[in-house]
Structure 1
Amino acid sequence: MKAIIDGLLVLSNEIVTGHILMYEKDIWKIVPRHQFRAGMCTELIDANGGFVVPGFINEHIHGCAGADVMDEDGQALETMRKALPATGVTSFVATTMTQSKEAMAGALERIRQAMGKQGGAQVLGAHLEGPFVSEAYKGAQAAGHLAAPDFSWIAPYADVVKIVTVAPEVLKNKDFLKDCRDHQILVSLGHSAATYEEVMEIVDAGGLCHATHLYNAMAPFHHRQPGLVGAALLSPKVHCELICDNLHVHPAAQKLAYQLKGRDGIILVTDSMRACLQGDGESELGGQAVYVKDGQARLADGTLAGSTAVMNQVVLNFLINSGASLPDVVAMASANPAKDLGLYDRLGSLEEGKQADVVVLDSNDFHVKQTVIAGELVYDELAK
C-alpha cells in the first residue's frame, strides 16, 4: 500500500484536510489522519500542505517538449508521455493537424500503438482537428488538405478517434453525425464561420457536443449574428473547450464563459504545440514555420498557432480569472473531459476504486511537485 499524507485533498465538491489518500494501482481509501500509521505503507509521498488533485486530462494537445503528434519518427508520443506528468497531465487525447490523408492515417496508427502504454501520461486516443473545417477560419490548418466531412476517413480508426472537430457549414451529409454517435465519437464544433442557426441545427439534431477552443478560430460574437460563440454559450448541450493562457482568451471572456456555462460546461485545454516547454525561438506546426516570442506562438503572418501553455498554469489562470472554486476548476480539467469521453468510471476524480492518477500541486503557484499515474510515481520535482 502507498499513501499521500499532509495534503489538501481536492474532492468533487470540497477540499478536505487532515486525511490520507491510500492507493495501489487504484485508490483504495481516503482515511482520517488519526487512523493512519506509517507502517501501513511501503511508499509515502509528503504533500507538505500542497493541493492533491486528480490527474489532469488534456483533450486538445498537438505536442510539447519538441515533439508533435504528426511527427513520423515514432518517438513523439513517447516524448510527450514522459514530459506531460511535470505539468500535471496524466492522460491526453493526441490531436492531429490537417495534412494529407496518408500523413493523418500514419498519425492515427501511431496513436493506436501508443494507447494503453504505461510509464507516463496515458494516450486515450485521437482528436481529429481537421480536415473537416472551414477555410475561412482554418487558423494554422493547411488549406490544401481541407475536406468535407466523410466518415469513411474515420471508419478504419473508429477505435482510435475519440473527438472530431467539424465546421457546421461544411457538413452536407447529416449521416456523418449519426455515424460518429454510433461509434462513441464526440463531435466538436469549431474552425467555423457558421451562423447561429447552422450550429443549432446540429445541436438540436443530436446529443452532447463540444466547441473546439471557444472564441478562437470562429466568427466573433455579434449582437445580430451570434454565430457559434453565441450558440455554444447558450446551449447546455455544448461543452466548451477554453485555452486559458490569457492570450487566446481574455480573462474577462473566461469569466463570462464560466458565468454562462457553469462548472459542468467548460473543459480546460492547452492546445499546445511542440514549442511547449521549449522556450522562445523558431518551431513548427503542421508543416508551417512558427515563431515563439515571449511565449506567444505565431505563424509568419501573425496568426496564432496553438499555444505554449501547460495545464497546471491554465488551471491556475482560470481559477484567478473566473472566480470559480478550486473543486470546480479542477473538475474542468479532470472530471468533465472524463465524463464526456465516457471514462468517468475510472478517471477524473479522487474516489475509491478509481485509477490512482494523482497530482500534488504547490499551494502557492500550482507548480507540480509529484505526479502518480496508475499508482506509480512518474514525476517528482526533487528527483529532477
Structure 2
Amino acid sequence: MNAIINGKIILPNEILEDHIIVYEDKIIDIIHKDNFDSENINIIDAKNNYVSPGFIDIHIHGSMGYDTMDGELESIENISKSILQNGVTSFLPTTMTMDMKSIYRSLDTVRNAMNIKIKGARVLGAHLEGPFISPKYKGAQNSNFIEKPNYELIKNYIDVIKIITYAPEEDKDFDFLKSILQNKDITLSMGHTNASYEEALEAIKKGVTHSTHMFNAMTPLHHRNPGVVGAIMSSDITSEIIADNIHLHRGIYEIVNRVKGSENIVLITDAMRAQCLKEGKYDLGGQEVIVKNNSARLLDKTLAGSVLKLNEGVKNLYKNTTLKLYECVKLASANPAKVINIDDIGSIEKGKYADIILFDDDIKIKKVIIEGVVKHENN
C-alpha cells in the first residue's frame, strides 16, 4: 500500500490540503493527515507540490521523433514514454489522412498497444482524424487520400476507435453517423469541415457530440454566416482547443470559457513527432514540416499540428483565463475522460485508478504514477 503526503490535492471542484491519498493500483481513500497511520505503507512526500489526476491527451499524433502513422509498436511505446514528462498518463494515438493500408496498419498497432502493459502512458484506443474530411478544410491532411464517410472502411476497427473526426456535410443522409452511433463507445467529432451553421446544428441534433480543435480547420464565426464555430457555441457539445498561443490567440481562451463553460472544453496538444525535440525538418502524414519558434508548419505555412506539451497547455490556460487551477486541470483530465466515456480515470476519487501526477507552481512535472506504479520522476 502507498500514500502521498504533504501535497496540495487537486480534486474536481477544490484543492485539498492537510490530506493524504492512500492507494494501490486504485485510490483507496483520501484522509486527513491526523487520521493517518503510516505503518507498513510506502510513503511519497509531495513536498508541498500539487497532486493532480494524470492528464489525458485524446488528440496526439506523435512525440520524440515517433508518429502514430509509423505503424510500429515501437513508435507507440516511445510516444507513450515521452509524454510522461508532460504529465500524460493515458492517450489516444491519432491517425492522419493517408492511404487506407497505412491507416489500417496504424490501427492494428494501436490495438496491440491497448492489449499489452506498455512502458509509458496507457493507450486507451485511437482517434481517427480523417480520411472522412472536407477538401476545403483539410489543413495539413493530404487531400489525395480523402474519402467520403464510409462505415464499411472502418467496421473492423470499432473496438479500437474512440473518436472519429469527420466532416458531417460529406455524410449523405447521415448514413455514416447512423452506423457509428450503433456503437455507444465511439464519439463523433466535427472537424476539418466545411459545414454551414445549419448543417452543423443538424449533425449535432443527429448525434455529433464533440468538435475537433475548435476554430481550426472549420467554417468560422461570422455575424451573417455563423458556421461550424457558431454551431459549437450555440450547443452544449464538447470542444477541443490547442492552447499553444499559436493556434489560438490568448484572448480566445477566456471567450471560449465564458461561452462554452469549463465542463465542455477539452485541452489537447495535436502534437506531431517533433514534440519534445529541437527545431528542424520533420514530417506529418508524409508531408514535410518545418518546426520553428514553437510552431509546426507545412512548406506553404499551413499549421501542421503542434509541438505543445499538455502541461504547458494547462499553464497557458491558467495564465490567460479566470479559470481556477483545478478547473484547468479538469480540462486535461476529467473532461477528456468524459468525452471518450471512460469513468475510472480522470480525477482523484476513491475507486478510480491511481493515475496521479505531481507538479510544482510552474506546472513542471515532478512525478508520474500510473495504476499505482511510479513511471517517471524529475527532481
Alignment of 1:144-293 (within 5 A): 144-184=144-184, 185-206=186-207, 209-236=209-236, 238-293=237-292
SS state of the match for residue 20, structure 1?
Answer: strand
Aligned to 2:73: 74
Quote the residue 1:368 is aligned against: 365
Deviations, residues 159-198 of structure 1 (Å, cap 9, x unaligned): 0011001112211141211221211211000111211001
Residue 120 of structure 1 deviates from its aligned partner by 1.6
- Structure 1 residue 20: Cα displacement: 0.7
Other-structure match for 2:55:
56
Query: Corresponding residue for 1:353?
Result: 351
1:320 positional shift = 1.5
- Give a deviation string over 1:262-310, Cα, whole Å, max 9, x none: 1111010000000000021111100011001111111001010000000
| 1:132 equivalent in structure 2 | 132
| SS at 1:132 equivalent | coil
Whether contact under 8 Å (1:116, 1:122) holds in the other structure is no
Q: CA RMSD in A?
A: 1.1
Given the two structures, how large is their TM-score scaled by the length of structure 2? 0.97
Query: In the aligned structure 1, how far is the partner of 2:266 from the partner of 2:54?
Result: 14
Distance 2:92 2:245 in 1: 23
Residue 376 of structure 2 corresponds to 379
Match of 1:30 in 2: 30
- C-alpha displacement of 1:11: 0.3
TM-superposed deviation, 1:101:
0.7
Moved runs in structure 1, 4+ residues, more than 3 A?
Answer: none
2:64–2:277 Cα contact (<8 Å) kept: yes
TM-superposition CA deviations, 1:30-89 (whole Å, max 9, x none): 1111222433412x2211111111011110000001100000343110001111111110
Shift of 1:117: 2.9
Distance 2:98 2:283 in 1: 14
Q: Which residue of 2 aligns with 1:13?
A: 13
The 8 Å contact of residues 194 and 219 in structure 1, kept in 2 or not, is answered as: yes
1:108 to partner: Cα distance: 0.3
Structure 1 spans left out of the alignment, 5+ residues? none
Preserved CA contact (<8 Å) 2:66 2:273: yes
Q: Aligned to 2:3, what secondary structure does the other structure show?
A: strand
Instruction: State the number of aligned residues.
Output: 377
Identity of aligned residues (%): 44
- Distance in 2 (CA, whole Å) between partners of 1:117 and 1:31 is 33
Answering whether residue 318 of structure 2 is matched by residue 319 of structure 1, we say yes
- 1:47 alignment counterpart: 46
**Other-structure match for 2:123:** 123
> Take 2:9 and 2:40, find their aligned partners in 1: how far apart are those partners?
20
